[in-house]
Amino acid sequence: MILPGDLRLRLAAAFVAVALWSQLAGLAPALLAVLLALALFALARQPLPWRRLLHLEAFLLLLFVTLPFTIEGHPVLSLGPLDASAEGFARAFVLAAKVTASVLLIALLIGGREPLHLGRALAGLGLPEPLVRLFIATARYIGVIGAEARRLRDAMRARGFRPRSNLHTWRSYGYLVGMLLVRALDRADRVEDAMRLRGFTGRYPRAPLPAPVPADWVGAALITGAAALTLIWDKL
Amino acid sequence: MTDLIRLTDLDLARDGRAVLSGASLALAPGERLAIVGANGAGKTTLLRAIVGLERAQAGEVALFGNPATREADFRAARPRIGFLFQDSDDQLFCPSVLEDVAFGPLNTGLGPGEANARAATTLDRLGIAHLAERFTHRLSGGEKRLVCLAGLLAMEPEVLLLDEPTNGVDAANGARLAAALAAYDGAMILVSHDDVFVAAFATRAMILAEGRLAPGEIHDHPHLHRHPHIHPA
């Protein structure tokens, strides 16, 4: 098992590897990054996150629609007054490969982890306490707010609301979002009151996490090392 | 005369658990039907199935004499059915009371002027015209419930579905609520734990247990009883 068990090292390795890969410029190194990420999935015997990838690739299609027409270069395709450049297509391919590799790596290393554990690991890496608390509270309450939104939408439907493209629809959706924000703020105040009543003073008393075992360091070093080698090949 | 609402052998399961299994009921014009049952017996689900917010896996829903199976069927019937939610906060989403009450009439195609006039009249009829410009999320529990009811009555529904209407409502607003419901001449289905309220309004009762509806009997008899209460000293 090459993946580090310690979540702090996973986060650090993912961050460093993605930062390195973001600097790739050549198509071959970017494709190698994708291959590396896929190899990690195979080594870890994890199923590929198809749903996540599908959402991502649909978004990346935008690159292929826009970049060829906005980057200057040798025209390979003409649509009326617009010319698509070979350089634009190449750039789109590199970007798509880099983003896919990064998302695969992040999904493998930290996807599916409990937000609470992620928060603890982030605090262990020295992330400021308020940011950690924001992260944990958001993960905790997003479902509550989502459920509130669903119930309000049900109530709107029960009163004969049907979305159309008119002012009434946009105003109603605006009110819906506004009301959710107001409620979320109120709820945040109540949650804070409840926390203060139980002795909260602004710092979360967290037990220090156990030190990573040597195998975790090796795993993290292998992942970041492989990412560094990809970048070195790219820059040679 | 056709039934306003007719459910035939409704089966509805959620998360693999049967909530309704063979539930049937018919609501005739002018009837006020109380549905009682333990917590979690599926009373709210039953009301949601009537307006199509939840779909039964088997059985038939007929609204105003027409079978309702698709969203379009339910959508056509919803303006004629006012559904008062258990939690008023789930129902109020506009910043001001007047806007919230005008929301339904706007959905049924009234212009902004007419909708606001209709909303103002409805608030006045319920005795809460003074709330018109208030923010909905700053109202008391009883005020919120009355504003929700105003939002439904502004659509002039033929049927009201009331889910625990007296929950969290103070005495003064409870009296306004009772007066408004007494003045309402349409049919209603009433889900409530408040026996006094049920006995005062319902003309018929049904009991929901194990996913089925069985006829119940409302009776009123004197009890010799004592209970503590508080008045100004």
Kindly state the tokens that stand for B135. Answer: 């923010």
* In the predicted structure, residue A29 carries a pLDDT above the cut 90: yes
Q: At what angle do helices A7-21 and A214-235 cross, to 10 degrees?
A: 0
Give the C-alpha separation, B154 to A204, whole Å: 50
Give the C-alpha separation, B140 to A209, whole Å: 46
Q: Which of A28, A44, A26 is nearest to A105 (CA)?
A: A44
pLDDT of residue B56: 92
Query: Which residues contact residue A131 at a Cβ distance below 8 angstroms, ignoring those fewer than 6 apart?
Result: A122
**Which has the minimum average pLDDT: A131-145, A193-207, B43-57, B159-173?**
A193-207
Give the C-alpha separation, B122 to B146, whole Å: 11
Number of residues written out for chain B: 233
Q: Rounded mean pLDDT of B92-112?
A: 88
Tens-digit pLDDT profile for residues A183-219: 888 888 888 877 776 767 777 667 778 888 888 899 8
Give the C-alpha separation, A66 to A54, whole Å: 19
Q: Chain A within 8 Å of B160 (Cβ-Cβ)?
A: no
Strands B58-63 and B66-67: antiparallel
- Please report, for chain A, the start and end positions of each structural domain, with discontinuous segments joined by +: 7-119+209-235, 128-197
pLDDT of residue A195: 74
Give the C-alpha separation, B184 to B162, whole Å: 13
Do residues B95 and B36 lie in contact, with contact meaning Cβ atoms separated by under 8 Å? no
Which helix (H) or strand (E) covers residue A75, if one does? strand A75-79
Question: With b meaning 16 or more CB within 10 Å and e meaning fewer, what string describes B30-63?
Answer: ebbbbbbbeeebbbbbbbbbbbbbbebeebebbb
Per-position DSSP letters for B144-185, written without gaps between them? HHHHHHHHHHTT--SEEEEESTTTT--HHHHHHHHHHHHH--
Instruction: Provide the percentage of residues in chain B whose pLDDT is more than 70.
Output: 99
Contact A155 B152 (CB under 8 A): no
Strands B58-63 and B5-14: antiparallel
Query: Mutating which of B92, B93, B116, B162 best tests the A interface, going by the most A Cβ atoms within 10 A?
Result: B93
Whether the ipTM is more than 0.95: the answer is: no
Give the C-alpha separation, B8 to B23, whole Å: 7
pLDDT of residue B165: 92
Residue B15: CB atoms within 10 A of its CB come to 5
* In the predicted structure, residue A117 carries a pLDDT above the cut 70: yes
Do residues A100 and A52 lie in contact, with contact meaning Cβ atoms separated by under 8 Å? no
pLDDT of residue A143: 82
pLDDT of residue A205: 63
Residues of B in Cβ contact (< 8 Å) with A162: 75, 107
Query: Which residues contact residue B95 at a Cβ distance below 8 angstroms, ignoring those fewer than 6 apart?
Result: A175, A178, A179, B135, B136
Q: How confident is the model at residue B156 (pLDDT cuts 50, 70, 90)?
A: very high
Give the C-alpha separation, A59 to B104, whole Å: 37
Contact A175 B104 (CB under 8 A): no
Do residues B29 and B4 lie in contact, with contact meaning Cβ atoms separated by under 8 Å? yes
Q: How many Å lie between the alpha carbon of B228 and the closest alpha carbon of chain A?
A: 32
pLDDT of residue A1: 58
Q: Which of B106, B99, B107 is nearest to B123 (CA)?
A: B99
Torsion, Cα B224 B225 B231 B233, to 10 degrees, reads 90
Which helix (H) or strand (E) covers residue A84, if one does? strand A82-85
> What's the pTM?
0.72
Q: How confident is the model at residue B1 (pLDDT cuts 50, 70, 90)?
A: low
Instruction: Provide the percentage of residues in chain A whose pLDDT is more than 90.
Output: 38
Q: Rounded mean pLDDT of B209-217?
A: 89
Q: How many Å lie between the alpha carbon of B123 and the closest alpha carbon of chain A?
A: 17
What 8-state DSSP symbol labels residue B87? S
Query: Which residues contact residue B7 at a Cβ distance below 8 angstroms, ignoring those fewer than 6 apart?
Result: B23, B24, B25, B26, B46, B49, B50, B59, B60, B61, B62
pLDDT of residue A204: 67
Please report the domains of chain B, with CATH numbers, ordered by start residue. 5-215 (3.40.50.300)
Tens-digit pLDDT profile for residues A131-140: 988 888 888 7
The mean of the pLDDT values for chain B is: 90
Q: Rounded mean pLDDT of B213-223?
A: 79
Q: How confident is the model at residue B33 (pLDDT cuts 50, 70, 90)?
A: very high
Q: How confident is the model at residue A236 (pLDDT cuts 50, 70, 90)?
A: confident
Q: How many Å lie between the alpha carbon of A161 and the closest alpha carbon of chain B?
A: 5
Give the C-alpha separation, B211 to B45, whole Å: 10
What 8-state DSSP symbol labels residue B129? G
Nearest Cβ partner for B53 among A152, A157, A160? A157
Do residues B28 and B4 lie in contact, with contact meaning Cβ atoms separated by under 8 Å? yes
Q: How confident is the model at residue B32 (pLDDT cuts 50, 70, 90)?
A: very high
Q: How many Å lie between the alpha carbon of A165 and the closest alpha carbon of chain B?
A: 13
Dihedral-angle region of residue A112 (phi above 0 means left; psi in -120 to 50 means alpha; beta otherwise): left
Contact A175 B94 (CB under 8 A): yes
Q: Rounded mean pLDDT of B103-115?
A: 88
More confident residue, A72 or B55: B55
* In the predicted structure, residue B98 carries a pLDDT above the cut 70: yes
Q: What stretches of chain B adopt beta strand conformation (E)?
A: 5-14, 17-27, 32-36, 58-63, 66-67, 81-84, 159-163, 187-191, 204-209, 212-216
Q: Rounded mean pLDDT of A224-234?
A: 92
Instruction: Provide the percentage of residues in chain B whose pLDDT is more than 90.
Output: 58
